[in-house]
Amino acid sequence: MATMLRNEKRKLRSKVKMEQALSRQNLYQQIMDNPNSQLFYRLINRNRSNQQTSTNCLKIDENYNYVPEEQRKSFAKYYEDLSVPKENIYENGYLNLCKIRQQLYEQAIDKAEDPEQFTESEVMKAIGKLNTKKKIIDCSKRKSSYSWTMGGKVVKTSDCSEHLGIKRTDGKEHNFNIKERIQTARRTKYALMGSGVHGTNGLNPAISYQIYKTYVIPRLTYGLEVLPLTKSNIEELEIFHRKNLRHLQSLPERTSNAVVLLLLGALPIEAEIHKRHLSLLYSILSCDNSKIKDVMIRQIATNYDNKKSFFSRILNILEMYDLPSINYLQKNLPKRDIWKEEIKKKVNQYWNAQLKSEARNKTSLKNMNIENLEIGKTAQVWNLQNQPRLELRKAIIKARMMTGAYILQSDKHKFTHFVAEPLCQLCNTENEDIIHMVTSCPVLSTIREKYYVEMKMEILDNIDPIKWNTFCCNKMEITQLILDCNNFKETLNISSELMTKIEEKCRNLLFQLHAKRIEVLDALNNK
């Protein structure tokens, strides 16, 4: 009977857990499909609410209550006691104090003369004086001591004020605002961390990135299109942005910048700000206000070479992304969604080329297929079904290995300026690089045999063995296949369905090798 009860309880618990996981999955799916601020707060609130509803122990009058039933009774007694009026047990000191206070009030009221009578207009005038929010920022080089008045009231001068969420100051506005943006974005990121928007043991990086993109990036870049940012400002934002993206993917600091973005299909912050420039330009071009249009025409004519002007920047941006000129747009303005689509296409195209060419030059990425990565698309390594935690951990190890961020003895040799030995600590026969670990190290051979054979079978079931023997015959090629099977997508003609299967097998193989290696190294170190 007891075992039956226990089993049933266990079943119930697992069912509840499953339901919870399902509802969590649902929420993430909704965020992926249609992110909005309502979902954001649901996500945050879900983590704030405490799962535990019962208190372990309650101490009342030196009694310890552990059972909820007893706790309830103690509470009831406590409140009953509070609600019953009691005589003669006032604290006399406090009572006297209250009495003295009351006497003082009475005396004050007796002595006071009739209160002054105010007219309505006098009250309104006084209220008008209370409104001191308006400030003047003196931006002239030689600050004047002129006092500014508005409607007879003196308006204060100040060196900093906020307008529409952007700090306006008498100089270096961009620096002030960048700091503020990063702070706000960081707070948002911290708020999201409880939901699993972080690396190890968190959510699948693809989902994390979607949440980050929807809730953090807009706060990071708000209003920045109207400010003249310097290169160092942009770099500051970029460092923060890349750090977050590394974090989401559990990739270490040394991972190449380009690949951190490419694996998630993410744009750099500079591009995100450019997109906002272009959408502001559209708003200006499409508005009916003739004054704004006059200002625009004058600004283009007089300020085209002033780097601090929005219009000078926008001219450069249009050229950079190979978009039509302002003149052309004034005459043939496309529909908003067509323009948005065009911006997206051109911006992605530009950064795709830029980031890929940066990645191609990195030796650490030589085992990866760069060409297959694309802005706006998540890399295959993060394509995980149902995101069980263990699969994610395996994928993280794989991502580190393919980006060259997984430290082996030969890497240590380089980092320590040749102090550390490059020799494999497991077998002492060869230098330990990724090829040695994946294909040769004899200490790992049992593990390798088991999982490698599984993977090879999967391929040979679907692909002509002659092809396999032609294209995938040496150790380097096999390593490249295991690290990133996209390397052989064309040559072996692998279907995308098979690709998913191979990816899973390789993920597992690499993880098992990693686990064994750590195990052996730990044993050696503890000797």
Residues in touch with Zn ion (CB under 5 A): 424, 426-427, 441
Three-state secondary structure call for residue 325: coil
Phi and psi at 503, nearest 5°, equal: -55, -45
- Report, in Å, the least distance between residue 428 CB and Zn ion: 7
- Report, in Å, the least distance between residue 527 CB and Zn ion: 17
Taking the least distance from each CB to Zn ion, the nearer of 182 and 427 is: 427
- Report, in Å, the least distance between residue 449 CB and Zn ion: 15
How far is the first Cα of the chain from the last one, in angstroms, to the nearest whole number? 49
Taking the least distance from each CB to Zn ion, the nearer of 378 and 440 is: 440
* Length of the chain, in residues: 527
- Report, in Å, the least distance between residue 441 CB and Zn ion: 3
- Report the largest interatomic distance among the alpha carbons of the chain, rounded to a whole angstrom: 111
- Report, in Å, the least distance between residue 432 CB and Zn ion: 6
C-alpha dihedral, 407 to 410 to 412 to 417, nearest 10°? -150
Taking the least distance from each CB to Zn ion, the nearer of 314 and 438 is: 438
C-alpha dihedral, 420 to 421 to 427 to 432, nearest 10°? 90
Residue type, 453: V
- Report, in Å, the least distance between residue 454 CB and Zn ion: 22
Closest by Cα among 247, 108, 114, 262 to 189: 247
- Report, in Å, the least distance between residue 414 CB and Zn ion: 18
Up-side HSE of residue 459: CA atoms within 13 Å toward CB? 28
Taking the least distance from each CB to Zn ion, the nearer of 355 and 438 is: 438
Taking the least distance from each CB to Zn ion, the nearer of 39 and 434 is: 434
Taking the least distance from each CB to Zn ion, the nearer of 203 and 426 is: 426
Question: Phi-psi region for residue 123, left (φ > 0), alpha (ψ -120 to 50) or beta?
Answer: alpha
- Report, in Å, the least distance between residue 424 CB and Zn ion: 3
Taking the least distance from each CB to Zn ion, the nearer of 286 and 428 is: 428
Taking the least distance from each CB to Zn ion, the nearer of 239 and 521 is: 521
Handedness of CA 466, 468, 471, 472 (dihedral sign): negative
β-pairing, 160-163 vs 166-169, is antiparallel
Taking the least distance from each CB to Zn ion, the nearer of 424 and 438 is: 424
**Residues ≥6 apart with Cβ < 8 Å to 338:** none
Phi and psi at 148, nearest 5°, equal: -90, 135
Query: In terms of C-beta density within 10 A (0-12 exposed, 13-18 middle, 19 or more buried), how is residue 262 classed?
Result: buried
Task: Kindly give the interhelix angle for 257-264 and 231-249, rounded to the nearest 10 degrees.
Answer: 60
Taking the least distance from each CB to Zn ion, the nearer of 35 and 422 is: 422
CA–CA separation, 482 and 462 (whole Å)? 17
- Report, in Å, the least distance between residue 256 CB and Zn ion: 26
- Report, in Å, the least distance between residue 517 CB and Zn ion: 9
CB 516 within 8 A of CB 444: yes
3-state helix, strand, coil in the chain (%, to 5): 65, 5, 30
Closest by Cα among 371, 387, 388 to 379: 371
Taking the least distance from each CB to Zn ion, the nearer of 426 and 494 is: 426
CA–CA separation, 311 and 326 (whole Å)? 10
What are the structure tokens assigned to 272, written together?
């995100």
- Report, in Å, the least distance between residue 456 CB and Zn ion: 21
Taking the least distance from each CB to Zn ion, the nearer of 220 and 437 is: 437
Taking the least distance from each CB to Zn ion, the nearer of 199 and 422 is: 422
Closest by Cα among 455, 453, 404 to 433: 404
Beta bridge partners of residue 153, listed in sequence order: 150
- Report, in Å, the least distance between residue 419 CB and Zn ion: 20
**CA distances (Å), origin 162, targets 6, 165, 252, 277:** 62, 6, 38, 21
- Report, in Å, the least distance between residue 403 CB and Zn ion: 22
